[in-house]
Amino acid sequence: MSFLLGVAIFVVALLGSIMLHEAGHFATAKWFGMKATQFFVGFGRTIWSRQKGETEYGVKAIPAGGFVKIVGMTDLEEVDPADEPRSFRRQPGWQRIIVLAAGSFMHFALAFVLLFIIAAGIGLETGSAGTTVGAVESCVPANVNLGCAKSDPKSPASEAGVRVGDKIVSIAGIRVTSWTQMGKAIRAQHTGSAVPVVVDRRGQLITLHAKLASLTGHGAYLGVSPLAVFQRVGPTGAVSYAGHEFWTMLSGSASVVANLPKAIPDLFAKNRADTPGGQVTSVVGAGNVTGQVLEARIGWQPKVGLVLLIIASLNIFVGAFNLLPLLPLDGGHLAVVIYERARAWLARLMGRPDPGPVDYRRLVPVSVGVFALLVGVGLLLIMADLVNPVHLQ
């Protein structure tokens, strides 16, 4: 149930991000007096729409994006002579640049706000609360980098009945007051042996019996993680955190795009998580990871924080990717406008007339090719996430 809720949260967040993206284009276009005739979420057949003023608002059947119809985006479009003065193509270059960049700006603004909320509202992890259990692992993974598989046995802590919030008092008779001491006490035991684990559960001492497992590279394994202590920070600290994380995610997004060619061959590899293929995912994979976070037996603060980080990271990636100078992305249209203005400026310097707008007919084959490539890569990522998903560690 938690898994499905996580996927649902991601889908709603994704649709919300799309609406904000299109709202950025729409609001700036209207601000500059351009005529926008449609504002839709989704593609395909119209499910619902409503006309308000000169704009039709609605929802379409395929929730895979959205669009705002601004009159006269290119010279290929036929425009009613009465609407021509308000068409996109007749506006100053700086206004067109703002309208085109507004979609990505909304993604970036949303991501920054979410990162600010994490620091100021949820809090940042500052350490662990002694021996209090923050998470109970569900299995003994055969490979710690691949997470749990269906064939992996349950973790000793899960089998013994250890719960999140329990404070571990002793392991095999060895009293422990810190996570370091507890780790040493566990590793001092023989794997396969049943040891008493005394926990303080809401003031009551309970003795549980855990049969310790063996985890490759770690020795004896109980399967618990510490409860993290979270500290909320003030506005200045939250802005600093948001700025730092924003830059880190933006750099990571650039790295993901750069490594995409190397990642594709590893998408269906058994060790995908350990390869560049584990760093790229589709919306299906991101929804799956969100579901795994909500299903994990951890406290509400790390759970909510991780979900917000996923949504923030998605928005930063989409915002940055959309600015790539490739048609039909917004960045491609931006590149065309900038090229037109630079060419006009050079013409003025040389005393020549303005060469006018770029001939979009020459760019159509490039735009179609890039669109086909993006659809192909997107479908490949979705297929990989369905048949070879990446599991959280």
Q: Is 45 helix (H, G, I), strand (E, B) or coil?
A: strand
Nearest to residue 44, comparing CAs of 23, 59, 22? Answer: 59
Distance CA 250, CA 113 (A): 15
C-beta separation of 218 from 140 below 8 A: no
Give alpha helix (H) positions in the chain.
Answer: 2-31, 93-117, 156-160, 179-187, 235-263, 283-295, 300-321, 330-349, 364-387
Residue 158 vs residues 86, 144, 212, 246: alpha-carbon distances, Å: 65, 17, 11, 37
Tokens of 229: 């202590």
Q: What DSSP letter does each residue of 354-374 carry, written as one string?
A: ---S--GGGTHHHHHHHHHHH
Nearest to 184 by CA among 222, 213, 211: 222
Identify the active-site residue in 22, 137, 245, 340.
22
The helix-helix angle for 235-263 and 93-117 (nearest 10°) equals 110
Residue 190: partners with Cβ closer than 8 Å, 6 or more residues away: 212, 220
Q: Is 137 a catalytic residue?
A: no
Cβ atoms within 10 Å, residue 88? 23
| Active-site amino acid positions | 22
